DNA sequence: TTCTAAAATACAATCGATTGTATTTTATTT
DNA sequence: AAATAAAATACAATCGATTGTATTTTAGAA
């Protein structure tokens, strides 16, 4: 009984004014004039009226809502991107639904289904590590459904990605290690199913090649780059003939590896120097502080929303690839100071 | 054109079967038997049918969705609580909408309005620091709207909170400092509008009193406990006559204060010992590692959802206070080792 | 074969808001 | 006062799915 909310029809009845007029009044239409409008608004307040968005969205076939899917919300990079998205979305009068895939494709697919069944106007997504094929994305894309990928791009036709120049960033990071005199450089790499990690690995390899350093397969350690993977990778390092530095494709793995090695009395950066990726807040707090790559997270979020917004509003340009590449910045800290 | 999705009526027409039967078939009702059901399901797949949840929710007046509002998703404690909520929600076939208030009441109110207009079945919330009065919550509560508070409780009548024993935890934390020989203990406190911070402060004071230590007002430094507040508070410490330790009501402020003091060549824990609150991942990485209080975040999330679920399903017991208090655990690390 | 019960499916109203069109009211002009 | 235009408001269909009730079909019994 208490749950039954007042509707425009209750207001309509109470005032003897048609519900269409009530609707227009509440939407501030010019077709209802001041006096009537005021009466309606007052009555609405009196009855504790609150618009039923479900009905409204159903009727108008527009939700003014977008879905945002990230691997995990606790990652600083992602929460910052979300902050950027929210800022612009708020100004454009869009709501956002935040979801986390937890790196599982299955969950990712289910989330997309849910978002679509709720008829969000578009989706911003950073795909999960588990995603090995892009068929489902391709299907949405083909239907002309507005969807934009950020950070972790998706290489399908006519697709829009918002990314950084991962190759270049990794190249610079690796070159920085070479500059300080490193030769035996390990790379912590992520799943090669993700374009992102391929590019980071390629950047690493290109830097080695440029400086005439042999690329050794066993010096590229692939994992999911989670905390526990960092420890495993650190153990593997200790079994390699000679290692003087690590370029990790993310901070999380770098940091847990550093901690493991510190416990084993290995001096960082003297014995092994470290470069991470993403500039998680933790990287400045750890001792030694971690050299890493800063991404323009907030700006990426803003841009991603803007591009999605364009796709939503002018249905025309959906087929165009508008990939936007941001540049990142190497932040040099103690973990590479010799 | 492409945006116009297939509906049950399209399936109905294509097969010459009434839409009501189609609806039942897709909902796996026993009123439609195997052969018809199969035909319908196949056609649905063929047409790329996808249920319109908006219509369904509107009709049934049930969304199977709850809203979760936290101050910020990037806080480890909150993202862990959310993980707990999601786990149980998933099993109960509920969707969750994650929102962040960013500690702003205005935003918080707007979020609640949006959630309600989308007719979520209930709300889980950890209120913002800015919230000074609970009128709006009281209103929902009075309407019998299912809403449960976690971590940061809301003291209104017949309300359910999922919290830890903040008084006890703070008492123990402070006593631990006393145990290691501290006497001049500063407390970093949060806004006293929040019950939570009052309790933490009271726990601190009670411990001092128990051990015959005078409570000095100027030793209680109140702020929003953000990163920049930690630095400000650290500066204030340096102006106090004598300080041998700090009990901070959260890790964030403790950590930024520690970093500031380290730069000023103050030895932690020798000169000043530190205890934080929440066990953020960063607290174990910083040097020295931070003694802090671990909260059962994941379990709290699970419990919060369960209680909300009960309220949603048996409308009867909504008026009952079922506050659940979890116990926390002091984790002793280097920042208090002498 | 006819009748009856049960099984299967169809009909039609409904959820709450929106919106194109129609109608009524008001104001203006002659 | 009548005619007309403009302003204000009412009517009714619609969005897509659900569901109580009614009807038709099928199967089994007499």
CATH number at residue B136: 3.40.50.2300
Are A84 and A300 in contact by the 8 Å Cβ rule? The answer is yes
> Is B332 within a domain?
no
pLDDT score recorded for residue B121: 96
Q: Is residue A332 part of a domain?
A: no
Largest CA distance in chain A: 87
One domain for residues B190 and B276: yes
Residue-wise pLDDT tens for chain A (338 aa)?
Answer: 345 689 999 999 999 999 999 999 999 988 888 888 999 999 999 999 999 999 999 999 999 999 999 999 999 999 999 999 999 999 999 999 999 999 999 999 999 999 999 999 999 999 999 888 888 888 888 888 899 999 999 988 788 999 999 999 999 999 999 999 999 999 999 999 999 999 999 999 999 999 999 999 999 999 999 999 999 999 999 999 999 999 999 999 999 999 999 999 999 999 999 999 999 999 999 999 999 999 999 999 999 999 999 999 876 555 667 899 999 999 999 999 98
Nucleotide nearest to B31 (CA to C1'): C8
d(CA A269, CA B257): 26
For strand D, give the nucleotides within 7 A of a protein CB. 7-12, 14-20
Q: Clarify whether residues B198 and B286 are in a common domain.
A: yes
Is B245 within the bounds of a domain?
yes
Whether A212 maps to a domain, the answer reads yes
Pick from B48, B118, B144: which is nearest to A53 by CB? B118
Per run of 10 residues, the mean pLDDT along chain B (length 338 residues) is: 74 92 92 88 93 96 97 94 96 96 94 95 95 84 89 88 97 98 97 95 98 96 96 96 96 97 96 97 94 97 96 70 92 95
Query: What is the structure's pLDDT at A158?
Result: 82
Chain A closest-CA separation from residue B45 CA (Å): 14
Distance (Å) from CA A124 to C1' C22? Answer: 44
User: What's the number of domains chain B is made of?
Assistant: 3
Distance B50 CA to D24 C1' (A): 30
> Does one domain contain both A154 and A128?
yes
Q: Is residue B91 part of a domain?
A: yes
Are B2 and A144 inside 8 Å of each other by CB? yes
Would an 8 Å CB–CB cutoff place A163 in contact with chain B?
Answer: no
Q: List bases in chain C with any atom under 7 Å of a protein Cβ.
A: 7-12, 14-20
Burial class (CB in 10 A: 0-12, 13-18, 19+), B16: exposed
The end-to-end CA distance of chain B, in Å, is: 72
Interface of B with A in 167-226 (CB under 8 A): none
Task: Identify whether B106 is part of a domain.
Answer: yes
Rounded CA separation A165/A185 (Å): 21
Beta carbons of A52 and B58 less than 8 angstroms apart: yes
DSSP H stretches of helix in chain A:
8-15, 19-26, 34-46, 53-60, 76-91, 105-117, 135-142, 166-179, 195-210, 227-238, 251-263, 282-285, 297-313
Do residues A184 and A212 both lie within one domain? yes
Our CA-based measurement puts residue B39 at a distance from the nearest CA of chain A, in whole angstroms, of 22
* CB A59 under 7 Å to nucleic chain D: yes
- Give me the sign of the Cα torsion angle A38, A43, A46, A51: negative
The Cα B49–Cα B208 span in angstroms is: 66
The reply to whether A93 and A199 lie within a common domain is: no
Same domain, B122 and B215: no
Is A97 at the interface with chain B, CB within 8 A? yes
Residue B210 to chain A, least CA–CA distance (Å): 36
The reply to whether omega before B185 is within 30° of 0 (cis) is no
- CA atoms of A35 and A16, how far apart (whole Å): 14
Q: Which of B63, B70, B74, B140 to mutate to test the interface with A (most CBs of A within 10 A)?
A: B74
**Any CB–CB contact under 8 A between B97 and chain A?**
yes
Q: Please answer whether residues A304 and A319 qualify as being in contact, where contact means their C-beta atoms are separated by less than 8 angstroms.
A: no
Count H helices, E strands: chain A? 13, 12
A150 shares its domain with A191 = no
List, in sequence order, the alpha helices (H) in chain B.
Answer: 8-15, 19-26, 34-47, 53-60, 76-91, 105-117, 135-142, 166-179, 195-210, 227-238, 251-263, 282-285, 297-313
Torsions phi, psi for B242 (to 5 deg): -155, 125
For residues B320 and B287, membership in a common domain is answered with no
Residues B251 and B146 in one domain: no
Distance from CA of B143 to the nearest CA of A (A): 6
| B24 Cβ nearer than 7 Å to chain D strand | yes
CA of A21 to C1' of D5 (A): 22
Is A26 within 7 A of strand C by CB distance?
yes
Return the pLDDT at A317.
Answer: 52
**Are the beta carbons of B53 and A282 separated by less than 8 Å?**
no
Q: Does residue B333 lie within any of the structural domains?
A: no
SS3 content of chain A, % helix, strand, coil (to 5): 50, 15, 35
Would you call B143 an interface residue with chain A, using a CB distance cutoff of 8 Å?
Answer: yes
- In which domain, by residue range, is A218 found? 166-294
Yes or no, beta carbons of A51 and B117 under 8 Å apart: yes
Is residue A198 located within the same domain as residue A255? Answer: yes
- CB of B199 closer than 8 Å to CB of B229: no
Contact by Cβ (8 Å): B169, B293: yes
Pair (A81, A195) in one structural domain: no
On whether both A308 and A208 belong to a single domain, the answer is no
Query: Residue B54: which of A95, A97, A119 has the nearest Cβ?
Result: A119
SS3 B222: strand
Calculate the angstrom distance between C1' of C12 and CA of A335. Answer: 73
Q: Beta carbon of B56 within 7 Å of strand D?
A: yes
CATH number, position A45: 1.10.260.40
Is the CB of A259 inside 8 Å of chain B's CB atoms?
yes
A27 CA from D12 C1′ (Å): 20
In angstroms, the separation between the Cα of residue B16 and the nearest Cα of chain A is 25
Q: How far is CA B24 from the centre of its chain?
A: 39
Cα(first)–Cα(last) distance of chain A, in Å?
A: 72
Query: Is the Cβ pair A144, B72 closer than 8 Å?
Result: no
β-bridge mates for residue A97, sequence order: A67
Distance A59 CA to C20 C1' (A): 14
Q: Using CA atoms, how far apart are residues B199 and A261, in angstroms rounded to an integer? A: 41
Whether B57 maps to a domain, the answer reads no
């Amino acid at each position: 009984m208490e749950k039954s909310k007042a509707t425009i029809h209750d207001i309509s009845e109470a005032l003897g004014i048609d519900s269409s007029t009530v609707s227009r009044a509440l939407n501030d239409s010019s077709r209802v004039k001041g006096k009537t409008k005021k009466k309606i608004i007052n009555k609405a307040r009196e009855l504790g009226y609150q618009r039923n968005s479900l009905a409204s969205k159903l009727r108008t076939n527009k939700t003014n809502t977008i879905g945002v899917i990230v691997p995990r919300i606790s990652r600083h990079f992602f929460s910052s991107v979300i902050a950027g998205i929210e800022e612009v979305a708020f100004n454009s009068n869009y709501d956002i639904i935040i979801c986390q895939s937890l790196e599982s494709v299955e969950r990712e697919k289910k989330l997309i289904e849910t978002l679509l069944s709720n008829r969000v106007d578009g989706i911003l997504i950073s795909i999960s590590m588990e995603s090995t094929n892009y068929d489902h994305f391709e299907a949405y894309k083909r239907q002309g459904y507005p969807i934009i990928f950020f950070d972790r791009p998706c290489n399908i036709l006519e697709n829009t990605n918002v990314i950084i120049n991962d190759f270049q960033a990794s190249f610079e990071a690796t070159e920085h290690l070479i500059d300080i005199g490193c030769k035996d450089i390990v790379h912590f790499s992520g799943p090669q199913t993700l374009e992102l990690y391929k590019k980071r690995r390629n950047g690493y390899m290109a830097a080695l090649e440029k400086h005439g350093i042999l690329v050794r397969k066993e010096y590229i350690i692939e994992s999911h780059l989670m905390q526990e993977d960092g420890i495993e990778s650190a153990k593997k390092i200790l079994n390699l003939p000679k290692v003087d530095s690590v370029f990790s494709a993310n901070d999380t793995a770098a940091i847990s590896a550093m901690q493991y090695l510190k416990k084993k009395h290995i001096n960082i950066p003297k014995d092994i120097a470290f470069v991470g990726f993403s500039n998680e807040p933790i990287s400045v707090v750890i001792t030694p502080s971690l050299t890493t790559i800063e991404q323009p997270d907030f700006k990426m979020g803003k841009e991603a929303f803007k591009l999605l917004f364009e796709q939503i509003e002018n249905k025309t340009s959906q087929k165009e690839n508008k990939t936007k590449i941001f540049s990142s910045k190497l932040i040099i800290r103690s973990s590479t100071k010799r």
